[in-house]
Amino acid sequence: MQPFTLTGPKGHEILIRAANQSDIPFLVELNKKSYPALAEENVCWREGHLRSHLRYFPQGQLVAELDGQIAGAICSLIVDMGSVPLRPHTYAGITDGGYFHNHDPRGDTLYGADVYVDPDTRGQGVGAALYEARRRLCRDLNLRRILAGGRLWNYSDHASEMTPDEYARRVEEGELKDLVLSFQLREGFILRDILKNYLPDPNSLNNASLIEWLNPDYDPPEEGQSSKVRVACVQYQVRGIKTFEDFAAQTEYFIETAADYNTEFVLFPEFFSVQLLSTMPNLAPLEAIRRLTELSGQFIELMSSLAIKYGCYIIAGSHPIASEKNPEKILNQSLIFSPDGEHVAQPKLHITPAERKYWGISGGSEVYVVDTPKAKIGVQICYDIEFPEATRYLADQGCEIIFVPYCTDNRQGYLRVKYCAQARAIENQIYVVTAGIVGNLPSVSAMDIHYGQAAVYTPSDFEFARDGIQAIADSNVETLLITDLDVSDLHRVRNTGAVRPRQDRRTDLFEIRSKLKNLPGPHADATKSVPFQLPE
């Protein structure tokens, strides 16, 4: 949502904008100031909660500024309430302990987890502006409704005289006034029910109103609309060639074939472009890799043109590219091309001893999330998938599919990639798509033999294929592996699976911190990365 301004009842301009990491310390204190009784119960926001909100659903975290100072904020998440959207629930349950791990971007309900306004600015329209912002967000995201649980602010003053249900009814009819519920009713919300034991709160005696706002502009998805993604893994056989055009023809053959099957993502193996070194045989390894970097422009032009021609995303394996900042430094980069020909370069982070020894490859320091119309994706190149931290980071940033191009020379190396890819799929509840090189290049140093078996791995639960393997190719033969992945299955199993490793993490004991170069600060943690968005 783009920032916008509203005019309050006293003529003040109220700016609504997205919350950011630098706001968090102030917001923690503002939350305590707004709800002192809850602060005494230790149920106010902590920094870890707000960082998690920005990680899972940054669009839903908004602040209101009055005269250049933050005067209020809202926290929201998207949930799937199923066929009984007004069912009873608790605050801890609907917000996953306040961390929003259960945020479901494919749900149809925007849940209002909190609205808080500086007591010193009440009466100046800040709360109304924040409610309008939430309604706009609901419309922008084409969600069916807004639900929220509102504490019965003044109920404790009347508890000896009436039940919570009667109190809420009398507020609804205008006989009583409640600081929260009366305001929500003026904002167009409908009282649907009373939630018992919703939240520890002495003012409401733990009772809350269940309120709903129905989006009048909601456009239901078409019946049968698919959340499936079709991926193709190229099990690419390297063989001696004479020209760049030979390489281009072999590459285009696989992309054209994948496109014939309406594939949306095509994955090539790591270092498949090293086949080009067979056009200049018997070079020393360091000289050879330098010569290959000189072909980067042609390689990028080829892959970009093929992405445009066939209208698909191409994860172009990996290719050695000289660093822009330091041309003496060579990075092993996976170039991710969108259908308009633009690309993102994801460097390999962890470099094997052989890469370092023979080719002088250096490790990169950036990790990117690529937001596509069908799924959020990321790339981990070969050895990277054997380290759990980077994949966990990508999953925490919303990645649903991780693509793993690899190049292994024997079965042991292949099995390391395979088993670690399966582990990453299970522990993060994501899909992991892999493709490796087969064949040999006797005239190219360090590319003598290869062992590969393309495969697609899933979480291990009832939603998915047996053994957690969606599809797997025959080993060591040139082929194209194509399969469909249902992204909605991932979100469903995260919330209702036999086990829920994303929700059951002990964030009170363990956390990930990152020093990635594409983060905004030298000591920024993993929650601070902004996904890199490619155009559709």
Q: By three-state DSSP, how is residue 437 classified?
A: coil
Using CA atoms, how far apart are residues 450 and 236, in angstroms rounded to an integer? 11
* DSSP class per residue in 488-520: HHHHHHHHHSSS-TTTS--TTT---B---TTSS
Choosing from 44, 65, 264, 270, which is the catalytic residue?
270
Q: Assess contact for 149 and 208: CB atoms under 8 A.
A: yes
In order of 165, 197, 211, 505, 530, the CA distances from 87 in angstroms are: 16, 14, 12, 26, 34
Orientation of helix 411-428 relative to helix 388-396, angle to 10°: 30
Radius of gyration of the chain (CA): 27
CB half-sphere exposure, 49, CA atoms < 13 A? 18
CB half-sphere exposure, 341, CA atoms < 13 A? 9
Using CA atoms, how far apart are residues 279 and 19, in angstroms rounded to an integer? 54
Choosing from 75, 233, 382, 407, which is the catalytic residue?
382
The position carrying tokens 């194509």 is 482
Choosing from 233, 348, 407, 418, which is the catalytic residue?
348
Alpha helices in 279-397 (DSSP H): 285-293, 296-310, 353-354, 388-396
Q: Assess contact for 461 and 497: CB atoms under 8 A.
A: yes
Using CA atoms, how far apart are residues 286 and 280, in angstroms rounded to an integer? 13
Using CA atoms, how far apart are residues 219 and 113, in angstroms rounded to an integer? 24
Beta strand 109-117 with 69-79: parallel, antiparallel or unpaired?
antiparallel
Q: Which two tokens stand for residue 115?
A: 């609205």
Q: By three-state DSSP, how is residue 148 classified?
A: strand
Beta bridge partners of 233: 267, 481
CB half-sphere exposure, 284, CA atoms < 13 A? 4
The answer to whether 382 is a known catalytic residue is: yes
Using CA atoms, how far apart are residues 113 and 95, in angstroms rounded to an integer? 7
| Catalytic residue positions, numbered | 270, 348, 382
